[in-house]
């Protein structure tokens, strides 16, 4: 036998209130007195009432669903960041649907129709790059879009990042102050704004000290590619004595290669620094010096930009970046001067 459906009218009748009062109780942000909320919720629990979110979305024209697009989850930074973002949106009365797409615009295009089919109220894109065509398509749909940990040169969408250039510059200054002469760099995916900006800041910091890159390889933000890049870089006749690896995910892979395949000592033989400060970076086995992404502040800015577009119709793009601190640990030789 099918379960009998309990309606809001049933709850209103038993609680002795209007149906609109029941609706307000189950509408996030609606004005309801404490005693009224308690009375309605008590009856709802007794009757087993659950509001029909899909039916309500047809009436209000709002699904209260946010489409969250991410290109990969094997990088330890994203599970942590997306958990924080999901909790923050849920506290505002929104539900999150996660869609997986590759980092390129072509991969995102394949899931865009599915996202739009859910009638989402907003879209957050984490580590996904968009073509100009897709940018205009999303804008034409009138759905607020916020880029997380990515920027876009066109500037049509809000974007929230850490200050990647400043972080890269800070790492260059730290390595130069530590007395390193042969400084290498293992790049991330070269289509990403994070990669571009981190390397630009790092090169600028080296140039200010009269230095330039001693060696460069590409790891594409991929664990296995980072291993290959580390093997190539440190198999050279004159390998670096320090290396900035564009994120912690790749740095962990590279450090394992350096120590367990190549027999290098860290930091005695080579100093390693990176970017993100994922939980594993602080593990004693890695003890990684890295720039911390200010994820809590970034999440707050994403939610603020989304809600401004959804609830206030404010679609003016916001470009926000936050400086992150340098977490000095044991993977790199420490200069005498503190560079925090």
Query: In terms of C-beta density within 10 A (0-12 exposed, 13-18 middle, 19 or more buried), how is residue 4 classed?
Result: exposed
Q: Quick one: 176 and 273 in the same domain?
A: yes
For strand 145-148 and strand 289-292, is the pairing parallel, antiparallel, or unpaired? Answer: unpaired
Dihedral angle at the C-alpha atoms of 290, 291, 292, 297, nearest 10 degrees?
-170
Question: What pLDDT score was predicted for residue 2?
Answer: 45
When divided into structural domains, the chain yields a total of 3
Q: Quick one: 270 and 313 in the same domain?
A: no
Question: What pLDDT score was predicted for residue 151?
Answer: 87
Contact 287, 301 (CB under 8 A): no
Record the pTM.
Answer: 0.82
Q: Which residues of the chain have pLDDT under 70?
A: 1-4, 28-29, 51-62, 102-108, 128-135, 337-340
Q: Quick one: 96 and 209 in the same domain?
A: no
67 falls within a domain: yes
Q: Quick one: 44 and 70 in the same domain?
A: no
Question: What pLDDT score was predicted for residue 102?
Answer: 67
Cα–Cα nearest to 188, from 217, 146, 148, 150: 217
pLDDT per residue over 282-311, tens digit each?
Answer: 999 999 999 999 999 999 999 999 999 998
242 falls within a domain: yes
- CATH label of the domain that carries residue 13: 1.10.260.40
Write out the residue range of the structural domain in which residue 206 sits: 164-293
Q: Quick one: 249 and 229 in the same domain?
A: yes
Question: What pLDDT score was predicted for residue 60?
Answer: 53
Query: In terms of C-beta density within 10 A (0-12 exposed, 13-18 middle, 19 or more buried), how is residue 309 classed?
Result: buried
| Tokens standing for residue 326 | 């340098």
- CATH label of the domain that carries residue 101: 3.40.50.2300
340 falls within a domain: no
């Amino acid at each position: 036998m099918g379960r009998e459906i309990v309606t809001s009218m049933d709850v209103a009748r038993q609680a002795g209130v209007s149906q609109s009062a029941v609706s307000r109780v189950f509408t996030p942000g609606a004005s309801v007195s404490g005693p009224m909320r308690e009375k309605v919720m008590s009856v709802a629990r007794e009757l087993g009432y659950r509001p029909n979110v899909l039916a309500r979305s047809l009436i209000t024209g709002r699904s209260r669903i946010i489409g969250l697009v991410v290109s990969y989850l094997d990088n330890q930074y994203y599970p942590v960041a997306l958990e924080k973002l999901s909790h923050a949106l849920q506290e505002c009365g929104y539900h999150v649907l996660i869609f997986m797409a590759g980092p390129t615009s072509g991969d995102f295009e394949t899931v865009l129709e599915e996202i739009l089919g859910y009638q989402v109220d907003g879209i957050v894109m984490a580590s996904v790059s968009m073509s100009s065509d897709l940018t205009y398509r999303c804008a034409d749909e009138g759905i607020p879009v916020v880029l997380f940990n990515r920027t876009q040169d066109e500037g049509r969408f809000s974007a929230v990042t850490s200050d990647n250039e400043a972080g890269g510059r800070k790492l260059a200054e730290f390595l130069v102050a530590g007395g390193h002469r042969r400084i290498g760099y293992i790049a991330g995916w070269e289509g990403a704004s994070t990669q571009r900006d981190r390397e630009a800041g790092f090169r600028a910091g080296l140039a200010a000290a009269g230095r330039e890159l001693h060696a460069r390889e590409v790891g594409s933000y991929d664990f296995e590619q980072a291993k290959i890049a580390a093997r190539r870089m440190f198999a050279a006749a004159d390998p670096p004595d320090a290396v900035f690896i564009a994120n912690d995910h790749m740095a962990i892979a590279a450090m394992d290669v350096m120590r367990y395949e190549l027999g290098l000592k860290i930091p005695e033989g080579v100093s390693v620094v990176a970017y993100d400060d994922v939980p594993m970076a602080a593990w004693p086995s890695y003890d990684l010096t890295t720039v911390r992404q200010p994820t809590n502040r970034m999440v707050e800015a994403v939610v603020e930009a989304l809600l401004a577009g959804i609830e206030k119709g404010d679609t003016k793009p916001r470009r926000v970046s936050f400086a992150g601190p340098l977490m000095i640990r044991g993977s790199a030789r420490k200069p005498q001067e503190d560079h925090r």
